[in-house]
Structure 1
Amino acid sequence: MTAPPGVLAGVDIGGTLTEVVLCAADLGVIDRFAVPTPAHEGGTAMVSAALDALRLLLDRTPGRLLGVGIGAAGVVDAPAGRILVASDSSFRGWAGFPVAAAVEEALGVPAYLDNDVNAFLRGEVARGAVVGERHVLGMTLGTGVGGALWLDGRLYDGPHGAAGEIGHVPGFGDLRCTCGGRGHLETLASGRSITARYAERTGRTTTARGVAEAAALGDPDAFAVYEASGTAVARAILVAAGLLDVTTFVIGGGVSRAWALLEPSVRHTLTDEPPVSGRRIRVRPALLGGDAVAVGAASRARAELGPVIRV
């Protein structure tokens, strides 16, 4: 009797939800499960919640677990599998936590940690909007703005682990950013900034989704906020294209669900200011949705395990 094939697990530990997926060797999702993230209860509680979800999936899915990839918010030391820096307002007891070691000890299989935006880009390259691309910049427009860089067919972290962090590039006005700087892309293109800019114009407080719904109904203030956001994203794309000669971009995150509102100003700006290379810039909305980080984390595990995995 042939044994069932091995499976890979991918975990996305976000500030609100933790999603776990089981993947086949080709990274196709077999099953998924999401649980609330106990972000204010510390690293042990967060990893325990992820492990409970993973065990539930393993109980109902045949196959031997080969390895686990984890994508997590914050600055991470990927080789050490440890969180370096995390927002105190979103997480408690997360900075310094040895995530990979805790998962390995609990499950007895190799585990690998990535920053969540890096994992998002891995996922979109492996199974999403930019499959097979050699050079890509990934951007996530969520509560904040994150970025990751794929060069010569592999993730490029940079010498200090911050390569691709387009959200905190200055030159976008003078508004104060959540990081303490001024004029960063995040002040115009994040969900938090969209709600703030709309409130400044109208005196009304809502969510980024609420602003998008208002724009779709013809609210000129809501439309203007999204137009400014799209223009800022396009300018950041042009900066990256000029510095890195990268001309393929994938955009994800919650704000990107309103791509129909962002795209016109993105396209208009890119048409008016083509990159110095003269090459056409391709901007693609992400395809994997909420699975992107978890699938990307699983792809990291697959790459690290190498010969153990047969596609």
Structure 2
Amino acid sequence: MTAVAGIDIGGTTTQVVLCAPDLGVLDRLGVPTPAAEGGTAMIGAALDALRLLLDRTPAKLLGVGVGAAGVVDARAGRILVASDSFRGWAGFAVTAAVERALDVPAFLDNDVNAFLRGEVAKGAAVGGTHVLGMTLGTGVGGALWLDGALYDGPRGAAGEIGHVPGFGDLPCTCGGRGHLETVASGRAIAARYGARTAREVAQAAHRGDPDALAAYEAAGTAVARALLIAAGLLDITTCVIGGGVARTWPLLDPSIRTALAAEPPVSGHPLHVLPARLGEDAAAIGAAARAGAELGVGTPV
């Protein structure tokens, strides 16, 4: 049996999947990310998890895909910019380290790009040709799938919808002001309500708390406005939304739909907005899909 592996390195958890060439998940494992210990430790933890999966599910490993937070040089397989949550990560040569350890080809993607690859390959956006992927978590990430292929732009920053301005005047984590992230991220929802986490706000909203409901309504309305901007520029037909905030989809969906109904896309065609289907596996499966595509096995995503 042959397999490709996908690794999603997040600030808290690293998710590893072992997939058949058709991207069916053979086994999975999540482990803590030693983000404060540097790139070598983070890759080491991921590789240890992958070796455990290979011991549990013997297969000939063909290649490995890695999805990583931050700005990456996918062609060189290197992290360019990382947040303060990661020590010794910016500049780290990810694919070289994986190839050296496993003696198989390795490929690197930004984690949101990997998320979108996963959802197009096996999730909510299967068959989509013009898709915006959006993750609503601590921050807001985005990725573009245009004409049936990932589009990352000449500098790797295409699709970064979370840092589109025009959403008020609050400071953003990137140093700008009024970005979508300042309204629609988990951090922003919590701050608007005065809670520590968006989960607390969601719990209050489910109890009918009007201020909590207003925080989610503002987030959903802002997301819809960002989608209309993307649709107007790129004629996307579908948006798939994941991340921790999207797990409370019933709180977001009504305001997104209301805003889109009030001002539909300029094309006159409805924009399909879907919750992600693959959960915490999405970016890891997408990373595996990238590896399979590069190696010419399985689904060409």
Equivalent in the alignment of 1:236: 226
In the alignment, is the contact (CA less than 8 A) between 2:72 and 2:79 conserved in 1? Answer: yes
Within the candidate set 86, 95, 98, 2:82 is matched to 86
Deviation at 1:159, TM superposition (A): 1.3
| C-alpha distance in structure 1 between counterparts of 2:299 and 2:214, whole Å | 50
Runs of 4+ in 1 over 2 A off after TM superposition: 308-311
- Residue type of the alignment partner of 2:288: A
Are residue 293 (structure 1) and residue 293 (structure 2) matched?
no
Equivalent in the alignment of 1:75: 71
Deviation at 1:189, TM superposition (A): 0.4
Are residue 104 (structure 1) and residue 94 (structure 2) matched?
no
Deviations 1:215-269 (A, max 9, x none): 0001111000000000000000000000111121000000000110001000000
Q: Secondary structure at the match of 2:211?
A: helix
| C-alpha distance in structure 1 between counterparts of 2:8 and 2:265, whole Å | 34
| C-alpha distance in structure 1 between counterparts of 2:277 and 2:48, whole Å | 28
Deviation at 1:132, TM superposition (A): 1.1
| C-alpha distance in structure 2 between counterparts of 1:149 and 1:278, whole Å | 21
Deviations 1:66-89 (A, max 9, x none): 00000000000000000000012x
Are residue 26 (structure 1) and residue 22 (structure 2) matched?
yes
Counting only pairs closer than 5 Å after superposition, residues 120-159 of structure 1 correspond to structure 2 as: 120-159=115-154
Q: Secondary structure at the match of 1:159?
A: coil
Deviation at 1:281, TM superposition (A): 0.7
| C-alpha distance in structure 2 between counterparts of 1:38 and 1:6, whole Å | 29
How high is the TM-score relative to the length of structure 1? 0.95
Are residue 7 (structure 1) and residue 19 (structure 2) matched?
no
- Residue type of the alignment partner of 1:74: G
Deviation at 1:62, TM superposition (A): 2.1
Are residue 52 (structure 1) and residue 76 (structure 2) matched?
no
Deviations 1:156-189 (A, max 9, x none): 0111111110000001011111111111000000
In the alignment, is the contact (CA less than 8 A) between 2:23 and 2:298 conserved in 1? Answer: no
Within the candidate set 162, 168, 171, 1:173 is matched to 168
| C-alpha distance in structure 2 between counterparts of 1:62 and 1:176, whole Å | 50
Equivalent in the alignment of 2:250: 260
Deviation at 1:309, TM superposition (A): 5.2
| C-alpha distance in structure 2 between counterparts of 1:269 and 1:91, whole Å | 37
| C-alpha distance in structure 1 between counterparts of 2:192 and 2:24, whole Å | 39
Go from structure 1 to structure 2 and tell me whether the alpha carbon gap of 1:85 and 1:271 turns closer, same or farther (over 3 Å shift): same
Gaps of 5+ in 1: 200-204
In the alignment, is the contact (CA less than 8 A) between 2:22 and 2:298 conserved in 1? Answer: no
- Residue type of the alignment partner of 1:100: T
Within the candidate set 37, 41, 51, 1:41 is matched to 37
In the alignment, is the contact (CA less than 8 A) between 2:292 and 2:299 conserved in 1? Answer: no
In the alignment, is the contact (CA less than 8 A) between 2:133 and 2:144 conserved in 1? Answer: yes
| C-alpha distance in structure 2 between counterparts of 1:172 and 1:310, whole Å | 38
In the alignment, is the contact (CA less than 8 A) between 2:137 and 2:245 conserved in 1? Answer: yes
CA RMSD of aligned residues (A): 1.0
Deviation at 1:15, TM superposition (A): 0.2
Identity of aligned residues (%): 77
Q: Secondary structure at the match of 2:35?
A: coil
